[in-house]
Structure 1
Amino acid sequence: MKKLREYRKSVNLIHRHIQKTEPDVVINFYEILAGLMNLRFREHVPFVCIAHQFLMKHPDFQYGNGTGREEMLLRLNNTLCCIGATKTLALSFYPLKDFYRERMAVVPPLLREEVLQTTPEDKGYILGYMLNPGYADEVKEWHKSHPDQEAHFFWDKKTAPPVFRVNDRLTFHRINDVKFLEYMQGCSGYVTTAGFESVCEAMYWGKPVMMIPTHVEQEINAADAVGAGAGIESTTFDVSRLVEYIPSHNADTGAFRDWVQSAEELFIRHLTTLV
């Protein structure tokens, strides 16, 4: 009941803010409370919902079509986020035709300006990102057998210092967006649990990616990214698989870069033509 009261307060807060500011359009980046607010108040302002997960409704999207409990819950969450939406913008690794029946337009990922303006390098180290610090033990065990491989992992361990140096070749860093991007710019390959945005950044820079999904949303992201040429999937943080894969990775990023660079034009078009 306490949670329901908190949700109700949040829904009311969103509604009051829309009433006060009278926006031309509201953009919802995959927030279920915005959908629930529309269900309760039926706002008349145009709503645009943006997320990669919305591709699951596209007839040409090959992943996430199973009947398992987790996939069904994910599809339900997608539906709740989109209640009252004027249009949905489905972020994608590659172009697909717009799906007019669902008022869906397929658009490129939105990458930070620093990614678009920076030239990548290869400084020989592996970069990793883990939300669950428990995976650090797997990485440490792997590194004992590969002590010459330099590796930097970003983790979300609140009690850890900003930089935790295991040895001269293995370092853990507390999550920091700016620092993370600097390390990605110079890495040889990237290990991640398959978050959409960072995989897109790696693809734009031509960095080979090894994805280790931990739940259904990441499993769909990983399968889609592998199909788009981002890299490989794994079930463990055995970084050797990525190191062995790197020489065979096709780093031709031309088509993906062209797609990403069309984002500004496409987003402006879709946000200014809401009928």
Structure 2
Amino acid sequence: MMLNVSRITSKVFKMLLVAAISVLMVLFTGLPKTGAAAGDSWGQALSSLDSLYDSFIKLESEVKLDKQNIQALKTQNNEQLKSVNEKLRTIGKAQIGRLQETVDLTVKKHGPLLVQYAELGSQLAEATKRKDQKAAALLKLKHSRLKSPVEAAKAEIKQKKQLLAAARKQATAQVRDIKDTLGPVHNLKGQTSEENKLAIEAGRRLSEASKRHRSAIKEGDAVSAAAELAAMYAELGKIHASQQRILSYEKQSVKLLATAVHKLNSLGLQV
């Protein structure tokens, strides 16, 4: 998640604030006695600026650190997810390929026999229909002679196809199991996107408050300057809260992906 929480660096911001406080202090000491109430409010705001700034800088540092951690976990999880998805496509592929080849070879091997048996059956039916007893008897003899090897051939083909079907069924179940494990990862990505939107909106409001804060300092308005700095801190806090939730989502994804990797490894597919 890339967020620009402020257009001013902490160092520059500190320098501007110190300079502004110095100017504001000069102005404050020159206030007329009759403006005591307003002066008290102004002075209180001025004194709060320094502590507000320290809080802002501390939180800003946490936000920057979270940003780095999020990016590291996000990169790790995306690479892991890519590897897992690549391995998913190979589940059962080699075994199914071998079994399919066996089926094809078995069918090819017994093909001529099955064709011959089928042709004899058709010829026998035609001879019987013509009431050609002699031809029918000869064809019946040939047809019956092939019945046993044909049944054996069909049984072998059936057995090979059953093995292929079982392998496909097993592979489908294994893929589904791992995809079920990965399902929450995709849901967490959706939640991360929503948190990013919230953080971006908070960043926009922070930027607007920062502009008003700088403007208030230029105008010598300590009350407004403190209020806007407080608003900046509040928006930065929202960004930080979103980051914390995103970090939680990424850490959950780490565990889910680790489970998926373990399942793949147990199938002999190293990730």
| Same-fold call, TM cutoff 0.5 | no
Give me the TM-score of the superposition, normalised by structure 2: 0.22
Give me the TM-score of the superposition, normalised by structure 1: 0.22
Greater RCO (CA < 8 Å, at least 6 residues apart): 2
Bigger strand fraction: 1
